[in-house]
Structure 1
């Protein structure tokens, strides 16, 4: 995947490893395992607390290639003084939210690729 300056900066921060709190977590979601259309960045201010604040970005094209959105993510992390960045490049599931976009306990009717798949390994259950 080609990288622009913001993608390089984000990858560099993630490669630095654990630098303490606050921790920024970054996750990518998409209707399949090829195109990420949603990015979620959450800030964990210190150990044993829920992530807060959290921000979501959406795109019709692969969000991992959007230098504009990645710049906004970097700004968000800087505004929240993130010391550590935890990020996985893989798409880890459907962009729709269970209990919000579709009923709890069911599969997403819009993203059939993920039906019966383990989201972290992308393997069929």
Structure 2
């Protein structure tokens, strides 16, 4: 899947807002806001359940990595996430 297409699919899910559980939360980490080298995808099945997290790392900007972005889409689809959130900033490592 094309990186731009993956970003659009994720953004479309984010724009829906909170629709209930299950919920996917995406957070990017890196040395600066221009270079995110790690992404953490957290899955919460129901309101009081603990979050399960999966992380991916890259030496380049992971937001432009087609394989990782496609994997995030597959995770969202596989768990049938009703809510998807993406943090607006890249957190420092």
TM-score by length of 2: 0.89
* Higher percent of residues as strand: 2
Identify which of structures 1 and 2 has the higher relative contact order when contacts are C-alpha pairs closer than 8 Å and 6+ apart: 2
Match in the other structure for 2:30: 30
SS of 1:39 mapped into structure 2: strand
2:90 — aligned with what?
A: 91
Q: 1:55-75 CA deviation, whole Å, 9 max, x = no partner?
A: 111111111112221110010
1:39: Cα distance to partner?
Answer: 0.5
Unpaired segments of 5 or more residues in structure 1? 95-125
**Superposition RMSD on alpha carbons, in Å?**
1.3
Instruction: Trace 1:4-15 onto structure 2 (pairs within 5 A).
Output: 4-15=4-15
Moved beyond 3 Å, runs of 4+: none
User: Which 5+ residue runs of structure 2 have no aligned equivalent?
Assistant: none
Provide the aligned length of Structure 1 versus Structure 2.
91
Q: Indicate the residue corresponding to 2:45 in structure 1.
A: 45
Please say if 1:68 is aligned against 2:91. no
TM-score, normalized by length of structure 1? Answer: 0.68
Aligned counterparts of 1:92 and 1:81: Cα–Cα separation in 2: 27
Shift of 1:27: 0.1
Shift of 1:19: 1.0
